[in-house]
Structure 1
Amino acid sequence: MPRPPRGNSSAKRVRLAYLVSHPIQYQAPLLRRIAQEPDIDLTVFFGSDLSVRGYKDEGFGVDVKWDVPLLEGYRHEFLPKLKDGDKTTITSPLNYGITSRLRGIRGEPPFDALWVHGYSSINALHGMVAAKALGIPVLLRAESWLRDRERSGTKLGAKRAFFRTLGSFVDAVLPIGTYNAEYWRYYFGPDFPSFLMPYAVDNQSFQKLSRNAEAGRGALQAELKLDPARPVILFASKLQSRKHCDDLLEAYKNLASAPGKEPLPYLVIVGDGEERGELERRTAESHLTGVRFCGFRNQSELPRFFDLATVFVLPSRHEPWGLIVNEVMNAGRAVIVSDDVGCHPDLVRDGIEGYVFPARDVTALTSALRGVLASPETASCMGLNALKRIQTWNFEEDVRGLRQALATVTRRITA
């Protein structure tokens, strides 16, 4: 496979291994960006090719094959498999060979550091143990937060014991945001080495795609039978129970039943999943003619819907981050999220970029929608604030955090 150009001799570069379950559409552009660093020699080790070959996504309930490049622009290898499937679990994928690859083969020197995505799979733990045995420092990045599902005292005690052991195999963590940083402090202590590597998307790409989508806005409005004079509320995610599109539908019903509020917005629902049939049934029973179900749309299509929106809503429970919010903010659109969406402390301020409402509180969600839709100027101003806010949550900050971590654990490059 083609290798990214080398800026310095390999002797002066930090050899960084990245271990992750499979190619992830959000991560691919970040990996391309890291590979451009002249003093970081990145190799990505995948356990599975499921996202490349296509798979049935349980959340969307449809076959998914991403239409964005997943493997271009960075060095990568697929580890030999003991077990693989159409979804990632604790035991799948299951690979071998990571120890020999970290040690170096065919005359290569050993890697200087291992970066691992997640800690709840045998593959990830195997990688950390192998690195520890070889004296290679480990950087850990994950989405976890403390606002998790309720657990018994026994399970919580077992989790704390697990983290006491895990901490001895990790040299530094890479928090993705405020809530994730709290999580690491809780389990590893306040003095554990920590370097912010924010959960970001390819801002430049999404901004460009959103600008380009404007030219085709009229065609999409015609396709969906939308009156351009009416505002659009957008939901774009999996139609699973925890995403609570049902709460958004109830809030929309509240708007539709309020007298004298014109023009009534549309509700455009992009996505598929187990809840779609029930949502469509409730929409029909309530005679809500302004709702549009658009089904699953691939990554490259989403900016067309962002461009269409007046406001985007993510009413989820147990959402560790919500990268779709980053994407929509790059289109300069106001956003409303529940307080159970992990990105909100970092990206969304009440009345500035949009609103944050208590999860499952339909009355509060209705009020937030009314606030954004109070006037076209209100929604536009919030959208501009959102675009400004997301500019600082970017890949350059990711590279900065990664460099700081590597400088600390390897002492071979400067931060």
Structure 2
Amino acid sequence: MSEKFRLCVVFTHPTQHHGPLWRKLSENPDLELKVLYLSDENQQSGDSFLGEAAQPWDVDLTSGYDHEYLKDLSGKVPTQRKSTVISPGLLDYIHPERCDAVFMQSFVNYSYRLTAFLCKLRGVPLIMQNDASMMSDARYSRQRLIVMSVLYPWMNNLADYWLSCGDHNEIHLRHYGVDDAKIVRGCHPIDGDRFEQTIAAQPDELQRIRRELAWDENTILYGFMGKYIERKNPFEFIDAIASAHQQDSRIRGVLFGGGDLEPAIDKRLAELDGEVINYGFVNQAKIPLYFAALDTFVVTSWIDPHPLVVSEAMASGTPPILSDHCGNWGYNDTVRHRYNGLVYPCGKPAALTEAILEMADTEVRQRYSERSTEVFSEQNLYCEVNAFLKVIERIKASGNPSTQGTASPSTSVDRVPVKTS
């Protein structure tokens, strides 16, 4: 029982959310982790959906764990994610002689599908996680939904285990044929330690940012952060802030990000009198400070399975207002209506205006801020670490031949107990 459990991760590209997770898992002395990236997106250039001002992420995404960039059929490492990417190197790695289990997120590209095929062919347990919800499926045509009702149960059950990321995600998994016995509650990882440390270490910079964004010390700041694209619905944020400002002149909105709608957004803002401003792109190193400088964070998306910016805001102590078309609200989810934030009916700017005005009350914001910090502590990076370790224990207990003789990953001093189901 001296050999380590070998976990192979197949992932599209390095991200600010998962890099810290792979690093934390690699600290476990009984776990050998190998991450296989299908592209090096975010390393050489910025996210194309964030517009021309976007830059490569300025935080470390790849140190502290073993990783490799796989070449595609052309013999080169892709610089961007592609649904058609095929990585021949998977043929060598996805084998019981090299890994005891494989983790991947979806079937969105050909390499993921090849990974699932190799796992089934060679008897390697497959662990999966996505952020899908029934609300996000509403965008699809009736014909596509019929096809999904047949295809998804078969595809989903190619995985031996699923890590769920919330209430609506679990409903989606069950709807498409995944048995409860295969589901382990996890979350999408946010490195709360980095957020907390960044905010604590730079109080002067935080105050400078606050002064830059606000009119004066009485300003109540509401933020929108993300891609300026249709499904993110930024104009609902702008219109609701403008309406709320007419009733409470302290209210101001700030947009952070970039994208295709930026010219139209700037044109709309030019019609206002500074109630909403377009701040533009902010890179990862200072993101915690900008979240912390806000009084409330708002997500207005028409379609957004599980927007992680909500968790990032909560990690910074900023309470959320969330569109009900997003997939991360519920009794045990990230946003719990009137407990740590507000959920409003998407497409109804008047309802969003009411929520914004309700959050203008200092006591309400303070109560939701404290509870947001509490809820986030149950859904941070360590929640996902625990979910992985729980699945690994199940794989070992199942007697899979590839895991015989491997040691169970131990509980490290950094592991924080959280409830899983």
User: Aligned partners of 2:285 and 2:79: how far apart in 1?
Assistant: 23
The answer to whether the Cα contact below 8 Å between 1:56 and 1:62 also exists between their aligned partners in 2 is no
Q: 1:117 aligns with which of 105, 108, 123?
A: 105
1:161 match: secondary structure: helix
User: What is the CA-CA distance between 1:384 and the residue it aligns to?
Assistant: 1.3
CA distance 1:52–1:362, change in 2 (3 Å): same
User: Aligned partners of 2:79 and 2:52: how far apart in 1?
Assistant: 13
The answer to whether the Cα contact below 8 Å between 1:61 and 1:274 also exists between their aligned partners in 2 is no
Q: 1:341 aligns with which of 326, 336, 339?
A: 326
1:58 match: secondary structure: helix
Q: 2:349 aligns with which of 362, 367, 377?
A: 362
**Per-residue CA distance 1:36-80 (angstroms, 9 max, x = gap):** 112211101111112212245124454430001111111111122
- Number of aligned residue pairs: 396
Which position in structure 2 is the counterpart of 1:3? none
User: What is the CA-CA distance between 1:178 and the residue it aligns to?
Assistant: 1.2
The answer to whether the Cα contact below 8 Å between 1:47 and 1:78 also exists between their aligned partners in 2 is yes
**Per-residue CA distance 1:340-360 (angstroms, 9 max, x = gap):** 121122022222212000111
Structure 1 segment 6-45 matched on structure 2, within 5 A: 9=2, 11=3, 13-45=4-36
CA distance 1:351–1:155, change in 2 (3 Å): closer
Structure 1 segment 124-203 matched on structure 2, within 5 A: 124-147=112-135, 148-203=137-192
**Per-residue CA distance 1:10-49 (angstroms, 9 max, x = gap):** x2x2111010111112100011111111221110111111
1:347 match: secondary structure: coil
Q: Counterpart of 1:242 in structure 2: which amino acid?
A: R
Q: Counterpart of 1:317 in structure 2: which amino acid?
A: W
The answer to whether the Cα contact below 8 Å between 1:213 and 1:307 also exists between their aligned partners in 2 is no
User: Aligned partners of 2:51 and 2:184: how far apart in 1?
Assistant: 33
User: Aligned partners of 1:168 and 1:225: how far apart in 2?
Assistant: 51
User: Aligned partners of 2:40 and 2:18: how far apart in 1?
Assistant: 14
**Per-residue CA distance 1:279-325 (angstroms, 9 max, x = gap):** 2212222x322322111111112122112211111111211111111
1:114 match: secondary structure: strand
2:258 match: secondary structure: coil
Moved more, 337-346 or 83-92: 83-92
Q: Counterpart of 2:344 in structure 1: which amino acid?
A: F
Ranked by relative contact order (alpha carbons within 8 Å, sequence separation 6 or more), the top structure is: 2
User: Aligned partners of 2:214 and 2:371: how far apart in 1?
Assistant: 30
User: What is the CA-CA distance between 1:381 and the residue it aligns to?
Assistant: 2.0
Moved more, 143-152 or 67-76: 143-152
TM-score, normalised with respect to structure 2: 0.88
CA distance 1:295–1:191, change in 2 (3 Å): closer
**Per-residue CA distance 1:176-213 (angstroms, 9 max, x = gap):** 11111111111124345111121130112112222334
**Per-residue CA distance 1:322-345 (angstroms, 9 max, x = gap):** 111111111111210111121122
CA distance 1:192–1:388, change in 2 (3 Å): closer
CA distance 1:164–1:139, change in 2 (3 Å): same
CA distance 1:310–1:222, change in 2 (3 Å): closer
User: Aligned partners of 1:88 and 1:55: how far apart in 2?
Assistant: 12
> Alignment identity in percent?
23
Q: Counterpart of 1:266 in structure 2: which amino acid?
A: R
Q: 1:303 aligns with which of 288, 302, 308?
A: 288
Which position in structure 2 is the counterpart of 1:75? 66
User: What is the CA-CA distance between 1:164 and the residue it aligns to?
Assistant: 3.9
1:43 match: secondary structure: strand
Moved more, 322-331 or 54-63: 54-63
User: Aligned partners of 2:328 and 2:140: how far apart in 1?
Assistant: 23
Please report the RMSD computed on the Cα atoms of aligned residues, expressed in angstroms: 2.1
Which position in structure 2 is the counterpart of 1:89? 82
The answer to whether the Cα contact below 8 Å between 2:214 and 2:252 also exists between their aligned partners in 1 is no
User: Are 1:231 and 2:224 counterparts?
Assistant: no
User: Aligned partners of 2:47 and 2:310: how far apart in 1?
Assistant: 24
Which position in structure 2 is the counterpart of 1:99? 91
The answer to whether the Cα contact below 8 Å between 1:113 and 1:138 also exists between their aligned partners in 2 is yes
User: What is the CA-CA distance between 1:85 and the residue it aligns to?
Assistant: 4.7
Q: Counterpart of 1:327 in structure 2: which amino acid?
A: E
User: Aligned partners of 1:172 and 1:27: how far apart in 2?
Assistant: 19
User: Are 1:52 and 2:37 counterparts?
Assistant: no
User: Are 1:281 and 2:267 counterparts?
Assistant: yes
1:69 match: secondary structure: coil
Q: Counterpart of 2:81 in structure 1: which amino acid?
A: T
Which position in structure 2 is the counterpart of 1:4? none
